[in-house]
Structure 1
Amino acid sequence: MFKKLFFSIALVAILFPLSALGQNNSADLTVEAGENQTISVNQEVVFSASTASDLSDNARYSWNFGDQTIQLGKIVNHSFNTAGDYTVTLTLSDQEKTTTDSLAVSVFSQTAMLIYDWQQDLNQIASIKSYARQKGVLLVEITDAKNEVDYIYEDNLAKELLNHQTEIKQSQAILVLTKGNTGLNVLAKFASSANDIENLQINEKIIIYLTEENFTLLNRLSQSLYSVLSPQYIMLARPEIGSTAIDALGSADLLSEIQQSPIDHLLIGSHSARVVDKLRPTNFMSYAVNYLINQGVAISDIVLILMLPVIATLIAFGRQILGIKTFGIYTPSIIALSFIAAGLKYGLFIFLIMLATATIMRLILRKFRLMYLPRIAIVLTVVALTIFAAFVFGAFTNRTGFIATAALPILVMIMMVEKFIAVQAERGLFTAVILSLETILVSVACYLVVKWEVFENLILAYPELILLTLVINIFLGKWSGLRLSEYIRFREVRKFLK
């Protein structure tokens, strides 16, 4: 009895490990084929296997691409000649052990780019993507996280385009759906940064700019972009034409298919280049703007320069007609430009922190009886450290909009603090605060005017309008009547005189 029991236990002890080893032939062998992919026909893709297992020198990777093609190797390149959905199976074999993994690959016959910004309706974007998928069109998305500083956001989108040059080359059309002229600025920045733009075959593509803006105001900017990129055409069209463009992809004559749509659109090409192609006395500034854009100068920089006379005129109007006092004309002009460069929300927040810090430091340093210049140097140092601390706090709390704010406009605003301190010393804290508030009010008003999209596009389309500021300032300089604030201030006196 005991012999049989002992024999049974011994037999189980021998057979169980062998059985477990046979059952787990691949339990200690793992492999990953990678993420699912969406590509276009004939697009070469790199497939790379990864494993955490210890392999022998005889390990074998086999890729079955589902199109009657098999390749060996841990990293392989493959392209699909026919549109459709494929299951790619990876098999790893090593010392009689085998394991598999798979991924799905969707291959589309047509490819298009879709550039859109954070201000677009995501439901509308989802609808466009869904429609494109139904029509067998691979829609490559170019977008970026929210950022209220325009030129930083445009730079980010331009970098995204640089990272997708392969997809751009394969695309038949580029659809742009952004607010105002953002998309035009992004494409211009991309054109100035791309090393080998001719290799992208832009001359065979149509850029379809979907917008609700006035076509006339975007016409000249689009013409400048056409001169830089040299696509087949640039079409300004209403967003509703997007589905028509997707339907027409793959057509032998894409342009004709789209033009048959009754939806409002405007075509930009070599036929319209005469608008700014020749220098004339009536368009010399438009010609200069077009030339600068062609030479790679950022449109946002051109806007800042062109808007300075407008800002100065608005400030002069506020002082001469409305009677709003400010720290002269230079200070509010620079502050307004800083708001444009840094964004109103963060620019205003930073400027208020600067004024508060400067006021506190002035009150503290008054007890030490220091000379003026060393005292101002200490104030500016503490203000700079305060802004530095605010940046650290923004990074710690992941406030990307704040930490993305450019340093140059902040440094410009720091320099304005000296004017604020000087007025405090000469005319008292109360007067300095009132002047500061009026300066901020005027600066914000200037910001809102020059950031008005219709006005911005108008100035870029017809920069010669800037010359009207000279005439306006001549009239303002001749004004000798009462200001609006004086009518309010002396209303009782005026009643008595009547």
Structure 2
Amino acid sequence: MSKRHLYLLAFSIIAVALSAMYYKWSVLKFPLQPDAQVQVWTVQAHVEYQPRTGANTVTLQLPSDVPGFTVLDERFVARNYSKLEESGEGGREVQWAIRRALGEQDLYYRATIVRADDSQALPEAELEPVIPEPAVLEEPYATAAQTLLDQVRDRSSNTITFARELLGRLSEASPSEEVALLRERFGEDDVARSNFIVQLLANRNIPARVVYGIRLTQLERDPDTRMQSWLIVHNGLGWTMLDPRTAAEGKPSDLFEWSRSGEPLLVIDGSPASALMFSVRSNLADAMATAERRLEVQDANLVRYSLLSLPLQAQETYRVLLMVPIGAFIMLLLRNLVGIKTYGTFMPVLIALAFRETALVAGITLFVLVVGFGLLVRFYLERLRLLLVPRLTAILILVVLLMAAVSVLSNRLGLEVGLSVALFPMVIMAMTIERMSVAWDERGAGTAIREGVGTLVVAALAYLIMSWHPLEHLVFVYPETLLVLFAMALLLGRYSGYRLNELLRFRALAREPDPIVPPPAADDATNDATSQSKA
């Protein structure tokens, strides 16, 4: 296989992995940091009313598919009431019903919301541009409305400018006679004023609706802010939101739309004395839990077929297992590029996993202690001239007994760290003792000790990197990171150049001239000088 094919494969894998990571970060909002937090809001609607004798039915409009926000959780509190949810054009509603109620009644709806990305579909495009019933006014209000609409038409160029001019005229500080008369008609109530404007626009065949919403940032500055009404006007191509108080065009980024169905927020049979109160509380929540919940609301399959769907115990297991390739890649760099020699290929990674439970200093101490005593026993067994398999079995038995003895002694001395020696892989420890003793006999004590120290250095460095909490979070949330390491391992698999320790080892030779092929430039210069002197 050519290098071009290998490079194409590796960079294709890297591109796919980085694309998947970018999608999860930008669209699914998975956090890069383990302690990242996002702002969430808890919006509560409180219905309070005096029931009538007999059956009572309460209907409350609810948020649905809010553009710019995602409803993470909903709670309904209505004791002894039946609950029925219905969805319709522009929103949904809940209907509470009870056969008999005594005393003041309190019903609650609570929603936890978070900001959503801009790619969420906007529901206003799905609304049909229906023209509502025009305003039916008696004199002199009918003449005043007709005169005002004619004046607004002369000062506008299209549907949106017509609606904005009408809102501006109705909000003037020094109103004209027509506006002052119409103000007496709809009063000072914000909702009644918005509904009256919708009826006036219907007189000119302009589709419009009343939208109820809450300014979240405004509530943080002013806790007494209440639910406000807004207008959406259809210009023939789409809906445009207008502020009926300022005639400003466009939807504020902090507006949480509660309902755009055009129906009253609260309807109670018999119209008894009632009150609808809203409260909003802002706090910070874990970004990972919020992203997971948002994903469940938008597309549950993306959660079902991911590591996030596993039980918590299995998730903790995979948090450790996914760090093993990280340690293996560190070992690859240290062995193939730096040139550190170790016992075994993946033994340092397994030792690093044991260091996660014992801590670094205590783990190195226990490792040296067990391997040191094991070497003494191995040298004694060498004199017995045992075969390989029986000798390894004997070493394994003695390693287990030695680990048990260290744990018992540590327990008696009150040293809890000694109890962690049982976390070391016993078979790997036995193989380390065997390999170290063979290296001691064949290549000398210096080589054996040097490779043992190299094993500990690689294990310690792998432990430091594998136990870094931000990296552990990144690999678990973005397992595509391992595909990047896989591609880099493929690229390093073709590297056959010098290692770093070889460059340091032979640096003196690089400064000396080649004794076999002398520099030709110097000879040519000498010959030229001799020829000139003879001439």
**Same fold by TM-score greater than 0.5:** no
Q: Which has the larger radius of gyration?
A: 2
TM-score by length of 1: 0.44
Q: Which has the higher contact order (CA 8 A, sep 6+)?
A: 2
In terms of fraction of residues, the more helix-rich structure is 1
